[in-house]
Each structure stands twice: as structure tokens, then as C-alpha cells.
Amino acid sequence: MNIYLSKSSAFVKIATIGTLILLALIPISLFITDSNYGVIGGLLLTILIVGTAIYFYANSLDRIIVDNDYLILKKNFGQIKIPKNEINGIAKLNYSNLTMTYGSKGVFGFVGSTMDNSYSLVKDRKNMVKILTENKKYIISTDQPDKLISEIKELYAL
């Protein structure tokens, strides 16, 4: 069993910190206003912002585990287990500006669905790998994409 880490690029770190700071300033400004609606709006907006941030953090990819029977995409909360017999192909992707249909566009990574119906768990767009299965397509990133690809091809006989 080998473990491959998925670390955030500088862009993802800056986008995450910058967005969280800006989003924190919005409810603070609503709390400061003298209107009663400012307090209620600030509370509702704070709950929405915190919930969204927790969701994207929870679904952000932490590491990839290559086992004899499964490829495990370990997120910060939860995991995706892909049986080796369902994997049809794997390939390295070039640097790309991921076009998301929904999801985060840099906050805690590029987490969500892309225009080609792939499930994206990308934290570094320079080290992306696309995994094709019978039912889904996954785009992930890892610090060692070439090593991950060669190991999966060898271990799973692709």
C-alpha cells in the first residue's frame, strides 16, 4: 500500500485565505450597522459562509492510497473507494484552467463537477491525473503524478 499526498498550490492557498477574509468581512459589516436587519442578516450570512467553507474543506482531497484491491481517494472527511476492476484508464493531464459547472474555483482546491462531468478533487493544476471508471471520471492532483500513474498501471494491469 502506497500513499500519495495532495498538497495545495500557491494559487489555492492564496484563493482560500483571501476568500475567507473577504467573506468574514461581509457579516462583520452587517453586524456593525445600526439596523435590526443587519444583525439578522449577519447571522444568516455567517451560518451560510461557515457551512459552505466546512463543506468544501471536508471534500478537499488529502491523500491517495493505492491498495491491492482499491484506489482510495481520502478526503479531509470521508473517502471514495474505487475497486481496481472498475478502473478503465488513467492519464496525466496538462496544466488547465478547470471549467467547473459547480464547486469551488480555488477555495480549498477545485472541488466539484467539471464541464465534462468529471468529479474534481484538484489542489494543484500542474499535477493533475484523470481516472476513468465504468461509471465516473475523476480528476485528482498529487505531488507525484507520474509515479502514481505507473504504479496503478502496473498493479491494476491497465
Tell me the pLDDT of the chain averaged across its residues: 87
pLDDT band at 132 (very low <50, low <70, confident <90, very high): very high
Which of 6, 1, 157 has the alpha carbon at shortest distance from 87? 157
The mean per-residue pLDDT over the stretch 25-42 comes to: 71
pLDDT of residue 116 exceeding 90, the answer is no
Share of the chain above pLDDT 90, in %: 54
pLDDT band at 4 (very low <50, low <70, confident <90, very high): very high
Q: What is the pLDDT of residue 1?
A: 80
Q: What is the pLDDT of residue 58?
A: 94
Q: What is the pLDDT of residue 92?
A: 93
Q: What is the pLDDT of residue 133?
A: 92
Distances (CA, A) of 127 to 29, 30, 54, 135: 39, 40, 25, 23
Fold topology of 1-158: PH-domain like (2.30.29)
49-89: pLDDT as tens digits: 889 889 999 999 999 999 988 999 999 999 999 998 899 99
pLDDT of residue 21 exceeding 70, the answer is yes
The mean per-residue pLDDT over the stretch 107-136 comes to: 91
pTM of structure: 0.85
Where b means 16+ CB within 10 Å and e means fewer, 5-33 reads ebebbeebeebbeebeeebeeebeebeee
- Cell 491497465 locates to 158
